[in-house]
Amino acid sequence: MGVLELRDVKLELGGKAILNGLSVDFWEGHIHALIGPNGAGKSTLAGAIMGLPDYRHMEGDILLDGESIRDLPVDERARRGITLAWQEPARFEGLRVDKFVLAGAKDRSADTVRRVLQRVGLDPEKYAKRSVDKTLSGGERKRIELASILAMEPRVVLMDEPDSGIDVEALTRIFDALADFKERGATVIMITHSEEVLRHAEHAFLLCNGCIIRKGSAGRIDDYFADKCAHCDHENVPVEEEVAAVVE
Amino acid sequence: MSTPTQAQVATARDLLASLGDLGGHIKGDDIAHLEVHGNEVVGSHLVPGLSIDVDELDDGIEAWIHVGKGVRIDKPVHMCFGMLPTEGLQRIVMHVEADEDSFASVQAHCTFPNAIDITHKMDAEVKIAPGATYEYFERHLHGAEGGVIVVPRTKVHVGEGGRFKTEFELIKGMAGVIDFDYEVDCDAFSTLDMITRIIGRGHDRVRINEVGHLNGEGAKAVLQSHLALRDDASAEIYNTLTASAPHARGHVDCKEIVQGRATAKAVPVVEVNHPLAHVTHEAAIGSVDSKQLQTLMSRGLDEDAATDLIIEGLLS
């Protein structure tokens, strides 16, 4: 039994099925990867697990420690230990990095700010008083978001494309953070299109058309990157189209 | 200004105490300060190079503030205006002259902690000579009733290479009615930086009219209005920036978060009268950004706490 279990999860957006009866267990203390083509439903799955408003109408169930969380709002799921690192972190005009980092921190001390910023390779003296706004690069915001998650000490971390838009140094820091999560016994679920990121996972799931079509050790799944999905005729719905469907 | 009486000292103490953790009103031999309760100066201290002459009017005061040529007042000048009673009128007429190459920064606190029906009017004329810098930070503390009408009217002229920075902040207590009117003329290579931060609650009504004229070559200006409105509060923001000289640069930024039944209107006007001038604007009115909200909620904050943190950032 996994720490996080999905049972026959179905989700439609704009009349289009995005998740098609998906059942999967995520094991406690393991690093999992979700791979698959654009529109396969990976980000939607992360949003459904987090309980984001656009995905709350899902069918099926999500269990944390065997208990259903499907009716819980985002903040309650977070208080139970689930959190999400966004592919494109939000900007917060005027909100200082230290306040952002401490927003959900377990230990709300200045030491925590220093520790987690250093862990993601950012100098606390330079960054703690800056704003989480457009003056920071995407990579810097990504690292600051990760720092805020380290401070939170979550049990389940959803990471949507942790490597997108960042440089090699930042990616190294993200792998360091992964090691921290692993050491603390947290469960990590990474969405990725990168073989390098996949190599840091222990288990991987290949999604296509809202279903898990393969699962196993990361080494067994990586042939996906060798175009094993190239001839798939499933119609996947890229996330931009999902959002457009919701807006309509 | 004469030495204050015991009663005036006590009033000044109560006035400053009402600021609570808004704080920042610091005293010391090297720190100039002025406290005005109603139409009475209840405390003051000057430093070399700064003169403040005050006439007490029936309904307020008229003050002449002068910063001498080349004088640099390193520590902020603290001013406190306000009224402790529940009702009344306080009119502040202020004439400021900052001579060439001088520097002064004023931290003004306006406190009306018990207001039910108080009007606070400010009519100011500020002349900033070439190369001088004058900063004026005005922070308001109002009570829970919102019974204050605040009417600041200010005209500013910034000489060549001069700098004027002003911030108006009302984030504690009920705003009441704010009718804010600033107009600034900027000569060549001068800088204008105007920031307004207000939280409106209850039935607060806020009207802001900020106007900047970039008349001289290379003059620069930023007008920022950041408001958060909830309950039945309403706001109208008019930001006008004109640029009439080569290499004049300006930006208008108006952001308002609206919750509940609150309403907001933003009217940014940018006018460019020279082909080498450049002015931009951005205005955003709406509810709290959903991605910001969801990010903070995914850290465990409930919706109210997340909203407060987002607003705190916007108004910081």
Tens digit of pLDDT for each residue in B169-216? 988 778 889 999 999 999 999 999 999 999 999 999 999 999 999 999
Cβ distance of A152 and B295 shorter than 8 Å: no
Mutation choice for B interface testing from A43, A84, A91, A92 by most B CBs within 10 A: A92
Model pTM? 0.81
Q: Is any Cβ of chain B less than 8 angstroms from the Cβ of A87?
A: no
Q: Is the pLDDT of residue A240 over 70?
A: no
Q: A4-247 belongs to which CATH class?
A: alpha beta
Tens digit of pLDDT for each residue in A128-148? 999 999 899 888 999 999 999
**Residue B85 pLDDT grade (very low, low, confident, very high; cuts 50, 70, 90):** confident
* CB distance A52 to A246 below 8 Å: no
Report the mean per-residue pLDDT for chain A.
89
Which of A74, A75, A93 lies closest to B313 in CB terms? A93
The continuous run of DSSP H or E covering A208 comes out as strand A203-208
Domain ranges within chain A, ordered by starting residue: 4-247
* CB distance B196 to B182 below 8 Å: no
User: HEC states along chain B?
Assistant: CCCCCHHHHHHHHHHHHCCHHHCCCCCECCECEEEEECCEEEEEECCCCEEEEEEECCCEEEEEEEECCCCECCCCEEEEEECCCCEEEEEEEEEEEECCCCEEEEEEEEEECCCCEEEEEEEEEEEECCCCEEEEEEEEEECCCCCEEEEEEEEEEECCCCEEEEEEEEEECCCCEEEEEEEEEECCCCEEEEEEEEEECCCCEEEEEEEEEECCCCCEEEEEEEEEECCCCEEEEEEEEEECCCCCEEEEEEEEEECCCCEEEEEEEEEECCCCCEEEEEEEEECCCHHHHHHHHCCCCCHHHHHHHHHHHHCC
Cβ distance of A93 and B255 shorter than 8 Å: yes
Chains A, B: CB contacts under 8 A, how many?
76
Which of B290, B296, B314 lies closest to A103 in CB terms? B296
Output A167 or B238, whichever has higher pLDDT.
B238
Cβ distance of B312 and A86 shorter than 8 Å: no
Cβ distance of B289 and A90 shorter than 8 Å: yes
- Mean pLDDT over B103-123 rounds to 91
The continuous run of DSSP H or E covering A247 comes out as helix A239-247
The distance of B310 to chain A (nearest Cα, Å) reads 7
For chain A, what is the total number of helices (H) and then of strands (E)? Answer: 10, 10
Range with the poorest average pLDDT among A236-245, B126-135, B236-245: A236-245
pLDDT (0 to 100) of residue B25: 60
Tens digit of pLDDT for each residue in A56-75? 899 999 999 999 999 999 99
Cα–Cα distance for residue pair B89/B120, rounded to 1 Å: 6
Q: Is the pLDDT of residue A239 over 60?
A: no
Tell me the percentage of chain A whose pLDDT exceeds 70: 90
CA-nearest of A127, A182, A191, A124 to A150 is: A182
> Which of chain A's residues have a Cβ under 8 Å away from the Cβ of B297?
73-75, 78
Cα–Cα distance for residue pair B192/B239, rounded to 1 Å: 13
Cβ distance of A75 and B312 shorter than 8 Å: no
Cβ distance of A96 and B309 shorter than 8 Å: no
- Mean pLDDT over B249-267 rounds to 93
Report the mean per-residue pLDDT for chain B.
91
Range with the poorest average pLDDT among B25-39, B110-124, B143-157: B25-39
Cβ distance of A96 and B295 shorter than 8 Å: no
Q: Is B42 left (phi over 0), alpha (psi -120 to 50) or beta?
A: alpha
A residues 12..71 contacting B (CB < 8 A):
50, 52-53
